Structure 1
Amino acid sequence: MIRPDTSERGVPGLPSAWVLARVSGPSMTPTVRHGDRLLVRRSRPGTARPGDVVLARFPSRPDLLVVKRVQRVLDDGGVWVVGDNPLVTDDSRAYGPAVAVGRVVLRLRPRPGRVGPPPDPGGLS
């Protein structure tokens, strides 16, 4: 299960709209991996688009903060999110609609030289 390690505080030196998160678990492999750090720009509900990699919460599990890919936007402004790893189902298939609280804009791998935007998974949504 991916749980960004963040207290939702801002990143020092950046406006408060930015959050740094650490990935825990395999549900978004190969797009992001366990141990990756992600730079997330906070967003208002209703601004996520299909294909975006987002930081989200499930109303049915408000204690769980996840990184998932938006599969579709719902009429009420919520999102249906899924992981890129089809073997792990800790996403909307298990918990229902989610609320996107931020969009992932940059991945910082724990190894030197691995910085960049999340790759397009080539249809693995």
Structure 2
Amino acid sequence: MLNGDVTGGAVMREQLHDRGQEQDREGRGLLRIGLAEVYNPSMVPTLNPGDQLVVRYGAAVRAGDVVLLRHPFRQDLLIVKRAVERRDGGWWVMGDNPYVENDSREFGVVPDELVVARVWVRLRPLPGQRSVAGMLSWAVSAVRPVRAPRSGRSLLGRRGGLAERSASRRLRAR
């Protein structure tokens, strides 16, 4: 197995099988699953630094899915973003955090061959506090599927609305 340190956007460390093993597993039709860890806040509030991700290699991607991809300018880096929409040449991807712009606004459309996997499940890290109530609370919310939004509206339009609401809530909370 190879370990790849990744930077930029929601940065992750992921274990990858070498190409020969991947092709062999694909030929046999085995389910290809991997783990990755989030290091940066570009996908907050959906994903937080420290979250572990279960990813499915080769899974079909639809608009709204959270995906693991190779950074278009540094293909040795893996990043996680939301696939917003299909465009000529690939996917327009964006982070859920409106204050981090390491996404298609910076590097444009991402070709299909750079999309590595679809995020299937998010696993929260264990809390430092080990009280019974704290552990029960963690257990209830630790494993959560990562799904596309259910709204029929455009993800691009929805994103702006969420960012504006989040900012106004933060301002009111101060």
TM value normalised by structure 1: 0.82
Deviation, structure 1 residue 41: 0.1
The CA distance in 2 between the partners of 1:60 and 1:120, in whole Å, is: 26
Q: Which has the higher strand share?
A: 1
Corresponding residue for 1:102? 117
Name the aligned partner's letter for residue 69 of structure 1.
Answer: R
Please give the secondary structure, in 2, of the residue aligned with 1:20: strand
Deviation, structure 1 residue 36: 0.1
Please give the secondary structure, in 1, of the residue aligned with 2:46: coil
The CA distance in 1 between the partners of 2:81 and 2:47, in whole Å, is: 10
Deviation, structure 1 residue 120: 5.6
Please give the secondary structure, in 1, of the residue aligned with 2:102: coil
What per-residue deviation string (whole Å, max 9, x for no partner) do you get for residues 59-81 of structure 1?
322122111001111233x2110
Q: Highest relative contact order (Cα 8 Å, sep 6+), 1 or 2? A: 1
User: Given the alignment, which residue of 13, 21, 25 partners 2:36?
Assistant: 21
Larger Rg: 2
RMSD of aligned alpha carbons = 2.3
Please give the secondary structure, in 1, of the residue aligned with 2:54: strand
TM value normalised by structure 2: 0.60
Corresponding residue for 2:13? 5
Please give the secondary structure, in 2, of the residue aligned with 1:110: coil
Q: Which has the higher helix share?
A: 2
1:83 matched to 2:118: no
The CA distance in 1 between the partners of 2:39 and 2:50, in whole Å, is: 6
Give yes or no for contact 2:63–2:148 (8 Å, CA) kept in 1: no
The CA distance in 2 between the partners of 1:50 and 1:119, in whole Å, is: 10
Count of aligned residue pairs for this structure pair:
118
Query: Larger deviation: 67-76 or 100-109?
Result: 67-76
User: Given the alignment, which residue of 26, 29, 47 partners 1:32?
Assistant: 47
